């Protein structure tokens, strides 16, 4: 029905998106974008939840969204922007790298999600079945989407030198490299940055598979070591990187 007074109602105002910065980083030959600052500080679940909204960056990127970085992507960002990450995150709190599953035989990193795409798979038998599609490289298994597995005998727990850690199965798996050494983690943990070396903790065998969060920390400079921790879950706070979701992927959701 035509309005006899000729009044035209206002159109709903477009939703104002929160602003965000971004940083570019190289990951295995590709240039990707991550949110800057990182999401946090909060639990990993809370930080992932904060990634679900859309953000405004610029006229060229008026609406962008993010997904959780894999452990390998988190390490690439840290390596390329180490001065910034060390000052803003590692020297203050934990950097949450991504999910892993502790089992009786080893560590599964970046576990795939279940059929509903809701939660990471924790069932050990299902995770083992995914190893059939992986390639074995210097004692560890590497699959799709940075998924992989490292037996406990491929790495050492406790205090160790940077080079020893970088050659371990855990470092190579977190970085997702088929080389004999994790070059990015070697640089991050070098004597120049951490004279006290590296301390690996909470990556121990579990009778029942359990989902945990891998994390890095400078231990706030108390012993000049890089801490690589396998128990950053639950309500323990930290920061996590979100990587930009490609526009076509966002549209398909």
Provide the percentage of residues in the chain whose pLDDT is more than 70: 89
Burial class for 186, CB neighbours closer than 10 Å (0-12, 13-18, 19+): middle
Identify the band that residue 247 occupies on the pLDDT scale cut at 50, 70 and 90. Answer: low
For the chain, the average pLDDT equals 91
Which value, in Å, is the radius of gyration of the alpha carbons in the chain? 21
Provide the percentage of residues in the chain whose pLDDT is more than 90: 80
pTM equals 0.90
pLDDT higher for 252 or 201? 201
Cα–Cα dist 223/201, whole Å? 15
Contacts of 176-181 with CB under 8 Å at 24 or more apart are 176/70, 176/71, 176/72, 176/109, 176/110, 176/142, 176/146, 176/148, 178/135, 178/137, 178/138, 178/142, 179/138, 180/138
Query: Helix (H, G, I), strand (E, B), or coil: what is residue 15?
Result: coil
Give pLDDT, residue 232: 64
Burial class for 35, CB neighbours closer than 10 Å (0-12, 13-18, 19+): buried
pLDDT tens, position by position, 138-188: 999 999 999 999 999 999 999 999 999 999 999 999 999 999 999 999 999
pLDDT tens, position by position, 193-238: 999 999 999 999 999 999 999 999 997 657 899 999 998 654 568 9
Compute the average pLDDT of residues 9-24.
80
Q: What residues contact 147, with CB distance under 8 A and at least 6 apart?
A: 108, 109, 110, 111, 112, 130, 134
pLDDT higher for 246 or 90? 90
pLDDT higher for 250 or 96? 96
């Amino acid at each position: 029905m035509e309005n006899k007074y000729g009044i035209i109602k206002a159109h709903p105002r477009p939703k104002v998106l929160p602003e965000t910065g971004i940083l570019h980083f190289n990951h295995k030959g590709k240039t990707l974008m991550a949110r800057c600052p990182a999401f946090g500080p909060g639990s990993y679940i809370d930080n992932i939840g904060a990634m679900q909204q859309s953000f405004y960056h610029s006229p060229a990127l008026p609406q962008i969204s993010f997904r959780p970085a894999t452990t390998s992507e988190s390490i690439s960002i840290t390596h390329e922007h180490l001065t910034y990450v060390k000052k803003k995150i590692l020297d203050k709190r934990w950097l949450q790298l991504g999910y892993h599953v502790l089992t009786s035989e080893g560590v599964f990193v970046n576990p795939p999600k279940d059929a509903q795409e809701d939660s990471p798979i924790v069932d050990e038998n299902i995770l083992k079945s995914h190893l059939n599609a992986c390639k074995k490289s210097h004692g560890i298994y590497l699959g799709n989407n940075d998924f992989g597995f490292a037996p406990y005998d491929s790495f050492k727990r406790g205090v160790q030198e940077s080079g020893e850690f970088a050659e371990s199965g855990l470092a190579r798996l977190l970085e997702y490299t088929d080389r004999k050494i994790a070059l990015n983690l070697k640089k991050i943990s070098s004597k120049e940055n951490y004279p006290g070396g590296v301390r690996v903790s909470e990556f121990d065998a579990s009778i029942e598979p359990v989902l945990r969060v891998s994390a890095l920390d400078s231990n706030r400079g108390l012993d000049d070591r890089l801490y690589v921790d396998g128990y950053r879950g639950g309500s323990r706070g930290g920061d996590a990187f979100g990587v930009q979701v490609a526009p076509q992927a966002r549209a398909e959701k």
